[in-house]
Amino acid sequence: MRAVVQRVSSARVTIDARVTGEIDRGLLVLLGVAQGDTDADLDWLAQKIAVLRIFEDDAGKMNRSVIDLVADIANPHQATVLVVSQFTLCASTRKGTRPSFNDAAKPDVAQALYEKFLARLETALGPLPAPNSVRRVACGEFGAMMQVELVNDGPVTLVLDSRLRE
């Protein structure tokens, strides 16, 4: 799995003029599922994203994670991570100028892993503050043509690859 993780002050996904996911301060995660990805890949990636220390502390150092952000926000029911499926992250441009998507997982496999990833990331963020809380992980719609808007904060953008464990 590959993920582009962006620290944002806001982000949202729109499909056919309908907002399907929206966050204020938090992380936008663009997620690509490759052939051969497993539950171990999504577990590693979800945990890594939850604990990445890319938010500034009081001294201005990047020492805080999205878990810390969840604990600090005034409304603990709002989403703090927006995950968008993006098979194009698995593209190869080795040959010519047209990307090849042969390394991307087949849609049925990718969708199942994407949905598991959403649940695992939610779990990695810790227990919900109340039994009927809204999920803290917002998302787009798998396979849909989406418009993604974001205000990159910093900017801070990282690329993670579960196979390289970096």
Catalytic sites, residue numbers:
86-88
Q: What are phi and psi of 56, to 5 degrees?
A: -75, 145
Helix H, strand E, coil C: the string for the chain is: CEEEEEEEEEEEEEECCEEEEEECCEEEEEEECECCCCHHHHHHHHHHHHHCCCEECCCCCEEECHHHHHHHCCCCCCCCEEEEECHHHHCECCCCCCCECCCECCHHHHHHHHHHHHHHHHHHCCCCCCCCCCCCEEECCCCCCCEEEEEEEEEEEEEEECCCCC
DSSP E strand boundaries for 71-113: 81-85
